[in-house]
Structure 1
Amino acid sequence: MTALLDKAPLGVAVRIARINWDAMSHDEGRRLREFGLMEGCEVTPLHRGSIFSRDPLALTIGRMKVIIRARQAAVIEVEPTA
């Protein structure tokens, strides 16, 4: 069962099942790949924006913490880790 990363529960590790690369610009896609966001990798959503906004989304990828936009997270399908 997959869900979208922007709706994933905070503090729970998930695995990236699919990324709709066509829904973002070439530069956005390149930036996410440089962070290591690829199908099959495990990420943990840490926190979202502020009281008034769900943007941006902070994640851990391995030992690294990164920030992505909510609209980018909305095109990333995730599934529970085994």
Structure 2
Amino acid sequence: MIAKLDSSPLGLAVRIARIDWAAMSEDEGRRLREFGLLEGCEVTPRHRGSIFSRDPLALTIGRMQVIIRARQAAAIEVESTI
């Protein structure tokens, strides 16, 4: 089942199925690629901003912790790894 990364449950690993690079600026896309956010990559959402905001979103990619904006996460489609 395909879902958006911004609505994925915390603590459960998901695999990136598709990224809408056109929904981001060139700099944002380059930064996410440098962090290793690419199709096929496994990520785990860890923490969201606050009760009133879903921004930012903390992810684990391999051994690295990365923070991205909720609107960037909304441009990323993921699927369950199970």
Mapped to 2, the partners of 1:13 and 1:53 lie a distance apart of: 22
TM-score normalised by L of structure 1: 0.98
| Cross-structure match for 2:27 | 27
Aligned residues: 82
Matched, 1:13 2:13: yes
Deviations 1:29-67 (A, max 9, x none): 000000000000000000100122110000000000000
Give me the CA root mean square deviation.
0.6
Any stretches of 5+ residues in structure 1 without a counterpart? none
Structure 1 runs (4+) greater than 6 angstroms displaced: none
Percent identical residues: 83
Any stretches of 5+ residues in structure 2 without a counterpart? none
TM-score normalised by L of structure 2: 0.98
